Amino acid sequence: MEQNIQKTALPNGLTVVTEQMNYLRSVSIGIWARCGSRHEPLEQSGISHFIEHMLFKGTQHRSTQD
């Protein structure tokens, strides 16, 4: 089976990797970001972990579906 993988760099610096699979009738999306605790300055230590919890737990005013 032949793979059709393309890597594209967008003007905003985002890298997009796509693979066309003509035998499938669906779409799958994965997102990987070059950020997180390893890139945090000392004064922001823990902010990535906090944001992670905000996204999957929600808040009093925002559900996980918002």
What's the start-to-end Cα distance of the chain, in Å? Answer: 40
Q: Read out DSSP for 17-34?
A: EEE--TT----------S
**13 has a pLDDT exceeding 90:** no
User: Which of the residues 19, 40, 43, 52 is marked catalytic?
Assistant: 52
What is residue 61's predicted lDDT score, i.e. its pLDDT? 84
Rounded to two decimals, the pTM is: 0.47
Kind and range of the H or E element at 8?
Answer: strand 5-9
Q: In this predicted model, what pLDDT tens digit does every residue of 23-42 receive, in sequence order? A: 888 888 887 777 788 888 99
Q: Which of 56, 19, 13 is nearest to 65 (CA)?
A: 56
Give the confidence band of 1 by pLDDT, cuts at 50, 70, 90.
low
Question: How high is the mean pLDDT of the chain?
Answer: 84
Active site residue 19: no
- Mean pLDDT confidence for 1-10: 84
Domain parsing of the chain, residue ranges:
25-61
Alpha-carbon distance values, 43 to 19, 46, 50, 51 (Å): 39, 9, 14, 15
